Chains A and B, each alone.
Chain A
């Protein structure tokens, strides 16, 4: 990397066109001077015009030679850069990448990782799924909160698809209906943009209106904005109340965390509240307001959060000297606010049955990790001129970090094959699990057979019990 940087710096400092510019300037000066000399020659010179011009030839030639020299410098700089670049990326041939890129996306039929075969599947693969890729991109843009970009994108896609449809090319763009709204501007400050659905209706088919996703994400960003920037918890608390049943069913702590943060807020910011006539002392107004709040909201959290509630209420006794009390860690607001924002985003997306981190991001990260393995494999394949025999499965293992394991994997210990729809895992009466085909092969023709891994015998009829990993 450093070599690249140095090469680049060479380019910017002296191997560029600025030197040529100065040379050309010089030439212009020369010409100008000669012209002036001829036009109005200084009185004490006896130089004649043709002589002046003859004198010009030499310097002009020299200047042009210098200019070419300068250009050669630039060329050298560029070559140096190219060398550094080749050094850095040596052996990481991009060609394999393109071949494998398309062939990996090849349709369910033959998927050839061979570099020649790859281009044959180019009409299928991801290139043929344009509509779906675009839908994924649009959803991603909405997730990221880039509403303007998303609406521009949708407009452009519709325009292009219209022109393409009239050319007779069939493409599937029905998903666009979900994204176009009648009003193109999603009003971020519109307080009335709320979904008044009851919890049960969230899954009802009638709710599929235009712009549904866009509105949902707009709402999410509105609440997040209030939470983060305006320190206003009210929209978030309201949302959590509306969805409290679902949140509870998912055992989410969001509601309580919000209530707790509100308690802390009230506690630490003394509010001059003249209406509370029974409290003339302003230094206690914060904790008293917090206490009022606690009285109204905390009872609903009682069975699950008793411990935390008692901690918070115990802190009331320490109100004058909070920083030195044992409770001060509970009251640091900023980290809590950030983590609540994350928790809110996660809960919101989970309720929409979407993954909490954008799937495009996770997938591209996984792709970046898997690509070197796959390219190396395709190189080896092309060298040994063999081909890839399994079409449904990748031929080589692509290790990913633990955070990217979303499913349990079952690999039959006998046949070393993964459990699939065609060959599912079955459990023997002793508790060991094999692939169905391995069991059938093992027990072929026999009435009773023994588990391959322990001395338990069992009768075979009906096969083992199917398990869902």
Chain B
């Protein structure tokens, strides 16, 4: 860490973490537009055909009835469009809020500014809600978003729907999952899925096939064959058709691969994960929670080799004791000598993040960073002379005598002459 780093804020590079923020409303707006287009097309065709048939009718009653039907169609179109428009308005509002949030950053000149802290707090809240949503802790996410007033900055409805479908795929504990909701989602997003070449729908249809074949009953098997004919034929990927065919020849408790894995209930978690990946790709969401990215980068940048060393005087109280096989981990409180220096506790040394940071590489430095006028005590610790002096005064150590602040009042006492000047280049 270079000491003379300026605290100037470069907004563009700072916003790397916030890129996906603006994309999602945009993608949703596009989806909105496409459904509007679809509705209009359908209505267009419907109304045009009914008008067409009208001209062949002669009796006024029929004409009236047909006209009424046409009117109904037009009105339902209007209703659908109205709903879409309302959604659009919400999305616009969200988008505006997000742009405003990012705009705020541009108005903040330096990192040291108090406004930056406020902005950073909002950003952290946003990242937390995003993480909670992805891990399926939906109630907490909603509560936190409402408590902090950032409902517009996060995408709760999107994740709620995603979570619902994923949960249905995983199935209630002990039972098989349900592919119907996922299939419904696929139908809604057919074009987009085709554009990215997703195999999700094929996998889901295969799962339906497997379920039908699992029963082993003759009529179900015929249904399965019809199902396969409908869905697996004609695509460029003949693999599914082949696998489906082969499956029919094997009973559900077969030991033959790959049919054993196909029958296994572990397919459902696989489908759930596949759905999740596809969903995120479709909406341009990052695959991993942004919190992970920010935390990894931050942990690395802050970590020093001393954070996990045994000689660290700052080690927090609640460190997790891992036994060798990790089966018993108790949070025990180590008896750490009270921290008597007044430096703020490093976040990595704190209990929350200490274990997390163990696997992370530490930050690279090219220059030493040390307090002014360092002196070394007889026990090997190094302090800046002035700071050492100040701490000793606070401790109430008599004039001319010297203690190591990290040992506190229980440590050894020396004379000031025993502290030698040390040169850290």
Given contacts A89-B19, A368-B17, A405-B369, contact A104 B60 (CB under 8 A): no
Q: Check if B238 is an interface residue, CB within 8 A of chain A.
A: no
Least distance between A74 CB and chain B CB atoms (Å): 5
- Give residues 300-337 of A contacting B (CB, 8 Å): none
Given contacts A17-B36, A205-B333, A366-B301, contact A394 B363 (CB under 8 A): yes
Q: Which residues of chain A come closer than 8 Å to B295, judged between CB atoms?
A: 105, 126, 133, 360, 363-364, 367
Q: Check if B254 is an interface residue, CB within 8 A of chain A.
A: no
Q: A438 to B102, alpha carbons, bound, how many Å?
A: 49
Q: A350 to B350, alpha carbons, bound, how many Å?
A: 11
1/0 contact string of B339-359 vs chain A (CB within 8 Å): 110111111111111011011
B326 touches A160 (CB 8 A): no
A-B contact pairs, 5 of them (CB 8 A): A35-B64, A149-B147, A364-B295, A397-B363, A467-B382
Q: A175 to B318, alpha carbons, bound, how many Å?
A: 10
Q: Check if A432 is an interface residue, CB within 8 A of chain B.
A: yes
A407 touches B408 (CB 8 A): no
Which A-chain residue is minimally distant from B45 (CB atoms)? A64
Q: Check if A187 is an interface residue, CB within 8 A of chain B.
A: no
At the interface with chain B, which of A220-228, A274-282, A369-377?
A369-377
A126 touches B331 (CB 8 A): no
Q: Check if B288 is an interface residue, CB within 8 A of chain A.
A: yes
1/0 contact string of A77-106 vs chain B (CB within 8 Å): 010011001001100101001101110111
Q: Which of B78, B124, B366, B369 contacts A28 (CB 8 A)?
A: B78
Least distance between A123 CB and chain B CB atoms (Å): 12
Give chain B's interface secondary structure class.
Answer: helix
Closest 8 CB pairs of A and B: A367-B298, A251-B394, A406-B346, A101-B293, A359-B347, A363-B298, A367-B297, A370-B301
Q: Check if A42 is an interface residue, CB within 8 A of chain B.
A: no
B286 touches A401 (CB 8 A): no
Q: Check if A382 is an interface residue, CB within 8 A of chain B.
A: no
Given contacts A21-B78, A398-B363, A408-B369, 12 further A-B contacts (CB under 8 A): A1-B103, A17-B36, A49-B60, A88-B12, A129-B356, A367-B293, A392-B362, A393-B361, A397-B366, A401-B7, A403-B112, A469-B370
Least distance between A329 CB and chain B CB atoms (Å): 23
Given contacts A97-B16, A156-B139, contact A402 B74 (CB under 8 A): no
> Chain B contact residues (Cβ within 8 angstroms of A): what range?
35 or more
B286 touches A98 (CB 8 A): yes
B64 touches A38 (CB 8 A): yes
Given contacts A101-B288, A251-B395, contact A467 B298 (CB under 8 A): no
A60 touches B48 (CB 8 A): yes
Which B-chain residue is minimally distant from A414 (CB atoms)? B425
Given contacts A38-B64, A364-B123, A398-B363, contact A27 B74 (CB under 8 A): yes
A82 touches B26 (CB 8 A): yes
A402 touches B5 (CB 8 A): yes
Give chain A's interface secondary structure class.
Answer: helix
Q: Check if B154 is an interface residue, CB within 8 A of chain A.
A: no
A12 touches B96 (CB 8 A): yes
Given contacts A140-B352, A249-B340, A398-B363, contact A411 B368 (CB under 8 A): yes
- Give residues 101-115 of A contacting B (CB, 8 Å): 101-102, 104-108, 111
Q: Which of B48, B139, B288 contacts A102 (CB 8 A)?
A: B288
A39 touches B123 (CB 8 A): no
Q: A5 to B102, alpha carbons, bound, how many Å?
A: 11
Q: A437 to B312, alpha carbons, bound, how many Å?
A: 21
- Give residues 10-68 of B contacting A (CB, 8 Å): 12-17, 19-20, 22-23, 26, 29-30, 32-33, 36-37, 40, 44, 47-48, 51, 54-55, 58, 60, 63-64, 67-68
Given contacts A92-B16, A167-B173, A367-B301, contact A126 B67 (CB under 8 A): no
Q: A271 to B86, alpha carbons, bound, how many Å?
A: 59
1/0 contact string of A111-150 vs chain B (CB within 8 Å): 1000000000010111101101111110111000010110
A431 touches B422 (CB 8 A): yes
At the interface with chain A, which of B125-133, B182-190, B211-219, B255-263?
B125-133
B1, B48, B320 pick with most chain A CB within 10 angstroms: B1
Given contacts A97-B16, A398-B364, contact A25 B425 (CB under 8 A): no
At the interface with chain B, which of A50-58, A229-237, A256-264?
A50-58
Which A-chain residue is minimally distant from B383 (CB atoms)? A408
Which B-chain residue is minimally distant from A122 (CB atoms)? B288
Q: Which residues of chain B come closer than 8 Å to A413, judged between CB atoms?
A: 368, 425
Given contacts A67-B40, A105-B292, contact A50 B1 (CB under 8 A): no
